[in-house]
């Protein structure tokens, strides 16, 4: 294309930015996109995809142990991080190529360099060129935040996990959110002795309490040491490892430290203020329901807006933006009742309100069951799963569904359809069970275990 004027300039080549660029180009717009790092963004290169592949790798030891319970002779196994990392790198290279191909076929001009706003309708590239744009879309995502403690630079952040030269023997994971819990679970599955330190009384703040407790129980069963109500205060070098001081007055050594203590919007130095774009907490771009910023020619989608920081949400926001601005069909993004999953072991899938949040709004009936699933119980495993429905007493609508079980992410995707449609408990009850499955419990629970 090589024009100095475009209909849309997208800053950021992650899932949201690429989807918006491709769809706008297919709608007939002249589109350019700049990405200073690798195409695919956090999800493809530094997040969801490599993380899920590591989840698969970390699950192999349990599968081998289970195989023995089913009568298979399995030789002792050893994990080769170097070989896995090489295969992971090759897969990420392939996926980056897929994303570049998508943009190329759509006719999007790509600039592999940093871009900033030079004004409401001008973009400045790192090489000094300026491009006029009728619309600018900010899709720069987020970046890991570090604790402000001495020695914080010695710790890894989530971006670093996938490029480690070797696996440490021991690791301290700082944080109690889903990234911290997932990484702790993965590392433990790969044979690392893990301590998870979080400043709250329990992990996964904001999720259903009963589910949180069962996930914590599962992490402990995996050999992870959970340290609650504590935070690191300093990190120092200690030979080949690191020594960490904490708020309890403790000092301990680890082979590596991972900070998974939140993420900030990736807006530093983008020139937003000069272009009239307002930002809020953690640098997040303030937008309305149509992803419009305070500058009439600038929009923003994805984690940079800190609305619901999930890849599918960024993609939906991008699609709504294009539908509104390039197809003349105003579409706000629906951020209500979004299913999500935490890929720990045990896995946790959730949609809607947790029991505590629902009870704060209205009277509810809670239907829940925990049990040892057939597959692992037969092989001698002690792991428990949970199926839970939170139901409005007034309308009988299912306000929340929470699953802690192998494959919970797959199950909650389907349960989310029913919850989103406004299904009642009686709608669930009318569905015949698929037997024998874990998920059949969602349609066979008849009496509430708790009621207001």
Catalytic residue flag (residue 251): no
- Identify the CA nearest to 386 among candidates 365, 375, 401: 401
Taking the CA of residue 128 as centre, how many other CA atoms within 13 Å lie in the half-sphere pointing to its CB? Answer: 0
Per annotation, catalytic residue among 198, 251, 402, 435: 435
Q: What is the dihedral of CA 38, 41, 45, 48, to 10 degrees?
A: 180
Strands 225-227 and 232-238: unpaired
Q: Looking at the annotation, which residues are catalytic?
A: 435
């Amino acid at each position: 294309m090589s024009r100095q004027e475009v209909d849309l300039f997208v800053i950021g080549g992650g899932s949201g930015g690429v989807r918006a660029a491709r769809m706008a180009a297919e709608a007939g717009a002249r589109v350019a996109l700049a990405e200073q790092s690798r195409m695919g963004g956090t999800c493809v290169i530094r997040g969801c995809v490599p993380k899920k592949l590591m989840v698969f790798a970390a699950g192999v030891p349990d599968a081998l142990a289970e195989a023995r319970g089913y009568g298979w002779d399995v030789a002792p196994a050893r994990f080769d991080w170097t070989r896995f990392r090489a295969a992971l790198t090759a897969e990420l290279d392939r996926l980056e190529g897929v994303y570049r191909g998508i943009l190329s076929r759509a006719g999007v001009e790509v600039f592999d360099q940093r871009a900033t706003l030079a004004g409401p309708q001008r973009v400045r590239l790192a090489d000094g060129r300026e491009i006029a744009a009728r619309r600018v879309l900010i899709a720069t995502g987020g970046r890991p935040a570090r604790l402000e403690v001495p020695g914080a630079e010695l710790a890894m952040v989530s971006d670093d996990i996938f490029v480690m030269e070797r696996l440490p023997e021991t690791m301290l994971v700082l944080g109690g959110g889903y990234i911290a819990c997932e990484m702790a679970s993965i590392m433990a599955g790969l044979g690392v002795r893990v301590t998870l330190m979080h400043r709250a009384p329990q992990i996964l703040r904001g999720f259903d309490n009963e589910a949180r407790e069962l996930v914590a129980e599962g992490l402990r069963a995996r050999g992870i040491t959970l340290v609650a109500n504590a935070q690191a205060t300093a990190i120092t070098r200690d030979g080949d490892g690191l020594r960490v001081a904490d708020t309890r007055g403790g000092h301990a050594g680890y082979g590596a430290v991972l900070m998974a203590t939140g993420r900030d919007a990736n807006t530093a130095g983008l020139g937003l203020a000069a272009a009239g774009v307002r930002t809020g907490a953690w640098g997040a771009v303030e937008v309305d329901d149509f992803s419009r910023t305070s500058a009439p020619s600038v929009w923003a989608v994805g984690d940079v807006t800190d609305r619901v920081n999930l890849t599918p949400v960024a993609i939906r926001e991008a699609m709504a933006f294009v539908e509104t601005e390039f197809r003349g069909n105003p579409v706000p993004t629906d951020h209500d009742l979004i299913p999500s999953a935490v890929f720990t072991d045990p896995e946790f899938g959730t949609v809607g309100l947790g029991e505590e949040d629902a009870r704060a709004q209205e009277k509810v009936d809670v239907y829940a069951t925990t049990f040892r699933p057939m597959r692992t119980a037969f092989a001698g495993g002690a792991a428990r799963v949970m199926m839970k429905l939170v139901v409005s007493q007034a309308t009988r609508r299912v306000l929340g569904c929470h699953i802690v079980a192998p494959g919970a992410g797959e199950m909650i995707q389907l349960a989310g359809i029913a919850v989103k449609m406004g299904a009642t408990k009686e709608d669930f009850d009318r569905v015949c069970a698929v037997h024998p499955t874990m998920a059949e419990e969602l349609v066979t629970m008849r009496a509430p275990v708790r009621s207001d």
